[in-house]
Amino acid sequence: MQRSGISTLIGAVFGLVYILVNAGKLPDTPAIILRIAAILVFVAVYLAIRHLPADDDEPSASRFDRRYWTVVATELIAGLVGVAVVAGPLHHEEASVAWISLVVGVHFVELARIWAHPRLTVLGGAIAACGVLGLVLAFAHGTDEAVAVTGGILPGTVLLLASWLAALGLRRAVTGLS
């Protein structure tokens, strides 16, 4: 499998997890439908990339250098500290998912910069915007459901659909299908 296929699969996993976890804030029927749809899209991503050949042209370590690990470490620290603050002293535990989305979005924007991959800026910007909107809703006393949808389900959907589109693009590039 191509390394970009692995990255695509990782994005799909995180998108799926966002949706599976946050759908629990919805009424049963929409939650079930959303979870089934997310699983089906995830399976489609997996099937599209599972037999892609290895990408021997891309050096494995070059993308995952010190800059990458600095972004990941910063993301982890910012995520943990932010969740502790919004759930603790600020008393808005429901805002945790929105904070995580903001941090994940910024992470993608920074990776876009260091990897010179502009599409990640769009992905990161969309996820970060969902996070900001979720935070605004949480602190404006929006419902837990509204915060979960805006700060969790929408970013998960963005990630999952971006992964699906990337998987289709990889498949077309390798097989020559249009």
Whether 127 and 143 have beta carbons less than 8 Å apart is answered as: no
- The SS3 of residue 112 is helix
In this predicted structure, what is the pLDDT of residue 64?
A: 80
pLDDT at 175: 60
Per-residue model confidence (pLDDT) at position 59: 45
Backbone phi and psi for residue 50, each to the nearest 5 degrees, phi listed first: -65, -30
Contact of 152 with 165, CB cutoff 8 Å:
no
Cβ 95 vs Cβ 147: under 8 Å = yes
pLDDT at 178: 47
Cα separation, 19 vs 38, whole angstroms: 7
Q: Output the pLDDT for position 172.
A: 73
Question: Which residues of the chain are modeled with pLDDT < 70?
Answer: 1-3, 54-62, 173-178
Per-residue pLDDT at 53 = 73
- pTM, rounded to two decimals: 0.89
